[in-house]
Amino acid sequence: MALVVQKFGGSSVADAASIQRVARRIVETKRAGDDVVVVVSAMGDTTDELLDLAGQITADAPAREMDILLTAGERISMSLLAMAINELGVKARSYTGQQAGLRTDTRYGKASIVGVVPERILKAIDAGQVAIVAGFQGVNELNDVTTLGRGGSDTTAVALAAALQADVCEIYTDVDGLFTADPRIVPAARRVDRITYEETLELAAHGAKILHLRAVEYARRYGVPLHVRSSFSNKEGTWVTDKPVGTEAEEEAMEDPIISGVAHDRSQGKITVVGVPDVPGIAAKLFEVVAGAEANVDMIVQNISTQRTGRTDISFTLPEADGRATMRAIEEAEDTLQFTEVRYDDQIGKLSLVGAGMRSHPGVSAKLFGALSKAGINIEMISTSEIRISVVTRIEDLDAAVRAVHTAFDLDSDESEAVVYGGTGR
């Protein structure tokens, strides 16, 4: 008998029929002998509808009030799900974040979990009940409701699984697991059976949308095994753990590095600061200005300066949402930075190849660059980590780049999987 935490996103509970389907799935697990704690998001479009209502009233809602408003969504889905499970003859009780002991700091709209005290959930488990917990929300020291921001429900599920020492945290979504690439772009993409937290983090940080970065970080820190799987089938999905792929024997037999997948990201922009003086400390000054604009810088490239001019160019990428404010901050610092020009480019795409042991296999980058070159795709920027290589291309070349790299690393499946690769909601 195991303790299983199951997380269902908004698209899995979009209407009464979906809620009943999810209820049957939960009841199956319970009847098979496991204890089940469920974390649920708001129904389908509820959050958008509430945001729309708020938007009709104000463009500048106080964050505290917005959190109270949005948490109504999970209150609805969790109680309906509890009703549906009770209707199937299994006892279920629903709990708000406050009732489940999800304690957070006071940063409304993007609160961090500071502790989980799941007394009532433990009591429910002891009483043989299925506990349904509202995702995405907690309570702060003022007894005010907070929301956890993007990926909040995944984080709730992982945090509860850690606090309850659950055997597994199952993340249900509308696809069968994590794929070697977005199947909408690469129809031959394969489902990954096992993957490490680190690789999943790299994929999530560089554009893959199935699992939220924050939930994976939490799972890694507390060693919570994640199982990403489809709510529409009983197939095994992708296991995310700290163990590398395969058994030790298998590993030794393998010479090639293990490639987990190809992520892509269309949401970045590139700023190029042209003609800054090539003197020590200039990059520090620039990124102080950028940090002041609260931009999350991703890749940075500095050209080698030409002896003749004593000037250099610095390019970096950042989320498009941060573009305008960052450009303004740089332009206002013209006196300090002494650049000749600053340019913004939102027509870039980023491809990231993620896998274990890349650094120790120089052949990986060579193969990657070769594949792109053969496909006639120009590389504008490059950055690497222990288990990742990212390149920036023109946005219109991105899909072709993903396909070329996927094929070059022998990731293509024999049979095409006809699935739609989607986000998990919040």
Residues forming the annotated binding site for ATP? 7-10, 173-174, 184
Query: Considering the complex, what minimum distance in angstroms separates the CB of residue 49 from its own copies?
Result: 10
Binding-site residue numbers for substrate are: 47, 74
CB nearer its own copies, residue 52 or residue 386: 52
Residue 106 is a binding residue for its own copies (CB under 8 A): no
CB nearer its own copies, residue 60 or residue 414: 60
Residue 143 is a binding residue for its own copies (CB under 8 A): yes
CB nearer its own copies, residue 80 or residue 158: 80
Query: Considering the complex, what minimum distance in angstroms separates the CB of residue 129 from its own copies?
Result: 11
Query: Considering the complex, what minimum distance in angstroms separates the CB of residue 135 from its own copies?
Result: 15
CA distance 353 to 370: 14
With CB under 8 A as the contact rule, the residue among 22, 82, 211, 371 that binds its own copies is: 82
Residues 21-80 interacting with its own copies (rule: CB under 8 A):
50, 53-54, 56-58, 60-62, 64-66, 68-69, 71-73, 75-76, 78-80
CA distance 267 to 169: 29
Binding-site residue numbers are: 7-10, 47, 74, 173-174, 184
With CB under 8 A as the contact rule, the residue among 11, 41, 96, 424 that binds its own copies is: 96
CB nearer its own copies, residue 127 or residue 366: 127
Query: Considering the complex, what minimum distance in angstroms separates the CB of residue 82 from its own copies?
Result: 5
Query: Considering the complex, what minimum distance in angstroms separates the CB of residue 138 from its own copies?
Result: 15
CB nearer its own copies, residue 42 or residue 351: 42
User: Which of the stretches 27-35, 138-146, 174-182, 226-234 binds its own copies when contact is defined by CB under 8 A?
Assistant: 138-146
Query: Considering the complex, what minimum distance in angstroms separates the CB of residue 72 from its own copies?
Result: 4
Residue 127 is a binding residue for its own copies (CB under 8 A): no
CB nearer its own copies, residue 96 or residue 317: 96
SS (H, E, C) the chain: CCEEEEEECHHHHCCHHHHHHHHHHHHHHHHCCCEEEEEECCCCCHHHHHHHHHHHHCCCCCHHHHHHHHCHHHHHHHHHHHHHHHHCCCCEEEECCCCCCEEECCCCCCCCEEEECCHHHHHHHHCCCEEEEECCEEECCCCCEEECCCCHHHHHHHHHHHHCCCCEEEEEECCCCCECCCCCCCCCCCECCEEEHHHHHHHHHCCCCCCCHHHHHHHHHHCCCEEEEECCCCCCCEEEECCCCCCHHHHHHCCCCEEEEEEEECCEEEEEEEEEECCCCHHHHHHHHHHHCCCCCCCEEECCCECCCCEEEEEEEEEHHHHHHHHHHHHHCHHHHCCCEEEEECCEEEEEEEEECCCCCCHHHHHHHHHHHHCCCCCCEEEEECCEEEEEEEHHHHHHHHHHHHHHCCCCCCCCCCCCCCCCCC
Number of residues that bind its own copies (CB under 8 A): 39
Interface positions with its own copies (CB under 8 A): 16, 19-20, 50, 53-54, 56-58, 60-62, 64-66, 68-69, 71-73, 75-76, 78-80, 82-84, 86-87, 93-94, 96, 98-99, 120, 143-145
